[in-house]
Amino acid sequence: MKTNIKNLLLPIISALIIFIFSAAYVFGGQKDYSEAERRLLNKFPEVSLSSVSDGKFMDDFESYSLDQFPARDTMRSIKALTEFFIFGNTECNGFYVEDGHLVKIEYPQDDSMLDYAAAKFKRLCEMYFKDKNCNIYFSLVPDKGAFLAEKAGVLSFDYDNFADNMIQRLPDMNYIDIFPYLSADDYYTTDPHWRQEKITDVANALSEAMGNPLSDSYETVKLDVPFYGAYYGQAALPKQPDDICYLTNDTIKGCTVKKLDDKTGEFVYSEMYNMENANGRDPYEMFLSGSQPIMVIENSNADTEKELVLFRDSYGSSLAPLLAESYKKITLIDIRYIDSNFLGAFVDFNETDDVLFMYSTLILNSSTSMR
Amino acid sequence: MYFFIPCVLILYYIAPKKLKNSVLLLSSLIFYAWGEQKYTILLLISILFGYIFGLLIGKTRGKTVSRFFLALSIVQNLAFLCYFKYADFFISNFNAVTGLSVPLLKTVLPIGISFYTFQILSYTVDVYRGDVKPQKSFINLAAYITMFPQLIAGPIVRYSDVESDLDQRSHSFEKAAYGTRRFVLGLAKKVLLANRLGEICDIFRASGEQSVIFYWLYAISYTLHIYFDFSGYSDMAIGLGNFFGFNFLENFNYPYISKSITEFWRRWHMSLGTWFRDYVYIPLGGNRVPFLRNIFNILVVWMLTGMWHGAEWTFIIWGLYFAVLLILEKLFLLKYLKKSKILSRIYALFFVIIGFVIFNASDLQQAMHDIYSMFGFGDLPAISKETIYYMRSYAFTLIIGIFAATPAAKIIAEKVRSKKSSFGEKTMNVLETIVVPALLVICTAYLVDGSFNPFLYFRF
């Protein structure tokens, strides 16, 4: 190529790139929501004399221009691929890839977060279970980094040490160790959660430790939807979707599920597996309808009168249906979505036999979301 | 970038010749006001003063009164700069010494004030000296001072360098191609290298597992980070300048290959170094004065150079640190440094790195702590798990950074181009036409997925 042709082509191509993107901004319209990032996007800010003079318009415009950038998801993928394949980085945006899994780096261990969570659990016991004849357990759900970080050579906290630290902070609770029943294969590759069809041994271990071994078998139902998990959008790397399955049997089918309607304060009927959510933005939200402050699973066919209160995060949504066999009633409480001081207004704790605090290391290491 | 630049380019190129400076001025004021609504008026007032004093000095040149107008111009510019940049520094030090509690003014530093104040000062001094004619058009002078590519982070473009371009300048595809390449390479330096190297510094400061080698990793990363950040901006300014027909002078010339600190300062932030040389050092007498007076001049110039970077003791000490090194080199070191190219480069780089550790410290205590720790006096392990991880994770970035801080790529490209057959040149042209737009897209991807990351030198 002759120099004069290069001198012609280079500014024209570069200008075209800039002008095409600019035109796409103007004519491309605005999106409300990013499916990949699972968040609302900033839209063109309101223009007013005050917003311009105090700089708010400019700040909001910066956010709008980043969020509404044409082909934003593709651009994010270009960045992630450049990080991994050109810069040879082991991580991008806090994510790494190992054994086909997208994994979020969890590091370092934040002891203040563990203190906060332990204090919150102790206070819940003090408020609602003091002088009651119930057994109190806690269990930790390792994030999948526990099985992949060392192999990938990325920074990761010591999960045994993490568990020991929590055991020391909760000396009056019985710790149920589920780490031995888990491996990386038990998790979705594009999502942080575990796969329900892979955790029957975990459910059994928990149930057995609480004195109620499970005996039911399950039918596995595979959904006909591609599951692009939460990490898929955040990591912005090209990746095949997961499949998503759920387990069912007569016990599960026979259960009644209710959820607290946070608008009315009343319990309304819900579903163990919400098929509308399965086809929605986050198929994992099919399990007990996703993020809910309080859910109740009632098993009127149970051979027992025992009741379980499960303080949990989203990992509990897919596990709880498997515990239904062992209890007449399971009350699931997610204190990220309800102030723990007000639980007594919605839940009667008097008949509680077992209390299980089951939280993932992800939530415990960032526990200020607990209210 | 995808809103402002296309609009300005369209307006600029469709505007008739005599309106091009007006388009530039208007665009630059919008650009400045976008980030600095409150102080746009201050910028305009400074320019107005510069314009009036320029005319008055020009009109009275050769008479005693022109000296008076020059003094007024200098006082006005320095008063603005001192009030907005140094007032609280002086007050807090005054309070510390006297034990009084004079309230701080808590002024917010207007973006780019150090750059545009120095440009206006150089203009009025040059008019006084007769090096340039006073600019009769307010729009032309304001377009020069506010020109957005260089307004907020330099280089400090002298009026004398663009005087003729303001009235008459040419535009061509050759200039546009060169401007595109410089702009995109500058953007890549900033987005792909400086930001990533800056990440290492942030990670280091947040780390709870520091080690001696981690301190060195931080120091080297920061040294590279500040170079790519600032020289990247200068490249972008020079590139955009070419689009508008201006030829801004180079601001960096591979400073990290210097064989002495004297050479380093001839290669680093050249527009600032030459500004202080021409407007402070030489007027003080330069080196044509008795030895002790010369030492005094050097100390004054470098203390001011440090202060120019910010109203902090770390910057003053940083400036004086270089003054001491320059004096030592002047006295005896330079002749020894000439004996070994490798050792002299190691020497220069070592002291530059230590200098930037001082520069980036939040206060003198942290600067001392960082330097102690680098030499193993901080009761730290030699290496830690985190150090190994981040060294490995950022190894390629560091390698690219070190390579790009040398003229190796430039030399290779020139060698390929200069091959006798036209194959080399053709190959380079094809590569340039592919790589530069690809870099533009990649940089855009990083900007889209990253948080807003202003240039370091905005704060100066």
Query: Is pLDDT at B159 greater than 80 in this prediction?
Result: yes
Tens of pLDDT, residue by residue over B351-385, are 999 999 999 999 999 999 999 999 998 789 999 98
Q: Is residue B169 part of a domain?
A: no
Region of poorest pLDDT, from A174-178, A195-199, B108-112, B150-154:
B150-154
Looking at the fold, whether B317 and B414 belong to one and the same domain comes out as yes
- Contact state of B446 with A82 under an 8 Å Cβ cutoff: yes
Question: What are B405's two structure tokens?
Answer: 């801080």
Looking at the fold, whether B137 and B12 belong to one and the same domain comes out as yes
Q: Is residue B166 part of a domain?
A: no
Looking at the fold, whether B195 and B325 belong to one and the same domain comes out as yes
Looking at the fold, whether B282 and B135 belong to one and the same domain comes out as no
Q: Is residue B9 part of a domain?
A: yes
Residue A288 is classified by DSSP as T
Q: Is residue B165 part of a domain?
A: no
- Tally Cβ neighbours within 10 Å of residue B112: 25
Cβ neighbours of residue B367 under 8 Å, at least 6 residues apart?
B314, B317, B357, B358, B361
Looking at the fold, whether B137 and B182 belong to one and the same domain comes out as no
Tens of pLDDT, residue by residue over B173-210, are 999 999 999 999 999 999 999 999 999 999 999 888 88
pLDDT computed for residue B443 by the predictor: 94
Cβ neighbours of residue A310 under 8 Å, at least 6 residues apart?
A316, A320, A323, A330, A331, A332, A333, A355, A356, A358
Instruction: Give the mean pLDDT of B130-146.
Output: 94
Please give the tally of structural domains in chain B. Answer: 2
Q: Look up the domain containing B406 and give its range.
A: 174-459
CA–CA separation, A240 and A101 (whole Å): 10
Q: Tell whether A76 is within 8 A of chain B (Cβ).
A: yes
* Range ranked top by mean pLDDT from A254-263, A302-311, B221-230, B336-345: B221-230
Beta carbons of B271 and B156 less than 8 angstroms apart: yes
pLDDT computed for residue B449 by the predictor: 84
Q: Which residues of chain B does A45 touch, with a Cβ-Cβ cutoff of 8 Å?
A: none
Looking at the fold, whether B114 and B191 belong to one and the same domain comes out as no
Looking at CA atoms only, how far is residue A194 from chain B in angstroms? 28
* Range ranked top by mean pLDDT from A54-68, A79-93, A191-205: A191-205
- Tally Cβ neighbours within 10 Å of residue B239: 23
Q: Give the Å distances, CA to CA, from B364 to B98, B106, B242, B315, B359.
A: 21, 22, 41, 9, 9
Instruction: Give the mean pLDDT of A174-202.
Output: 95
Question: What are A223's two structure tokens?
Answer: 């959904």
Looking at the fold, whether B288 and B404 belong to one and the same domain comes out as yes
Q: Tell whether B332 is within 8 A of chain A (Cβ).
A: no
Beta carbons of A88 and B395 less than 8 angstroms apart: yes
- Contact state of B196 with A87 under an 8 Å Cβ cutoff: yes
DSSP-assigned letters across all residues of A115-169: HHHHHHHHHHHHHHTTT---EEEEEEE--THHHHHHHHT-----HHHHHHHHHHH
- Contact state of B37 with A53 under an 8 Å Cβ cutoff: yes
- Contact state of B433 with A10 under an 8 Å Cβ cutoff: yes
Looking at the fold, whether B310 and B392 belong to one and the same domain comes out as yes
Q: Which residues of chain B does A51 touch, with a Cβ-Cβ cutoff of 8 Å?
A: none
Percent of chain B with pLDDT strictly greater than 70: 97
Q: Tell whether B208 is within 8 A of chain A (Cβ).
A: yes
Query: Is pLDDT at B117 greater than 90 in this prediction?
Result: yes
Looking at the fold, whether B82 and B226 belong to one and the same domain comes out as no
Looking at the fold, whether B233 and B269 belong to one and the same domain comes out as yes
Mean pLDDT of chain A: 90
Query: Is pLDDT at B441 greater than 90 in this prediction?
Result: yes
pLDDT computed for residue B73 by the predictor: 95
- Contact state of A11 with B180 under an 8 Å Cβ cutoff: yes
pLDDT computed for residue A65 by the predictor: 86
Tens of pLDDT, residue by residue over A193-214, are 999 999 999 999 999 999 988 8
DSSP-assigned letters across all residues of A32-61: SEETTTTEEPP-PPPP-HHHHHTSHHHHHH
Whether the bond between A142 and the residue before it is cis, its omega within 30 degrees of 0, is no
Looking at the fold, whether B120 and B230 belong to one and the same domain comes out as no
Q: Is residue B39 part of a domain?
A: yes
Looking at CA atoms only, how far is residue A178 from chain B in angstroms? 28
Tens of pLDDT, residue by residue over B16-49, are 988 999 999 999 999 999 888 889 999 999 999 9
Of A15, A80, A155, the CB nearest to B389: A155
CA–CA separation, B154 and B237 (whole Å): 8
Q: What are the E-state strand segments in B214-273? A: none
Of B35, B208, B437, the CB nearest to A17: B437
Q: Is residue B77 part of a domain?
A: yes
Beta strands A39-40 and A33-34: pairing type? antiparallel
Q: Tell whether A19 is within 8 A of chain B (Cβ).
A: yes
Question: What are B155's two structure tokens?
Answer: 């280089």
pLDDT computed for residue A6 by the predictor: 86
CA–CA separation, A349 and B116 (whole Å): 70
Looking at the fold, whether B51 and B115 belong to one and the same domain comes out as yes
- Confidence (pTM): 0.88
Nearest to A65 by CA among B451, B252, B407: B451
**B 18-47 residues with CB < 8 A to A:** 34-35, 37
Looking at CA atoms only, how far is residue B372 from chain A in angstroms? 26
Complex-level ipTM beyond the 0.90 threshold: no
Q: Tell whether A90 is within 8 A of chain B (Cβ).
A: yes
Q: Is residue B160 part of a domain?
A: no
* Best A7, A17, A109 residue to mutate vs chain B (most B CBs within 10 Å): A7
pLDDT band at B420, cuts 50/70/90?
low
Mean pLDDT of chain B: 91
Q: Which residues of chain B does A78 touch, with a Cβ-Cβ cutoff of 8 Å?
A: 441-442, 445
The SS3 of residue A356 is: strand
- Burial class for A365, CB neighbours closer than 10 Å (0-12, 13-18, 19+): buried
Q: Is residue B162 part of a domain?
A: no
Query: Is pLDDT at A77 greater than 50 in this prediction?
Result: yes
Query: Is pLDDT at B153 greater than 80 in this prediction?
Result: no
Greater model confidence, A221 or A212:
A221
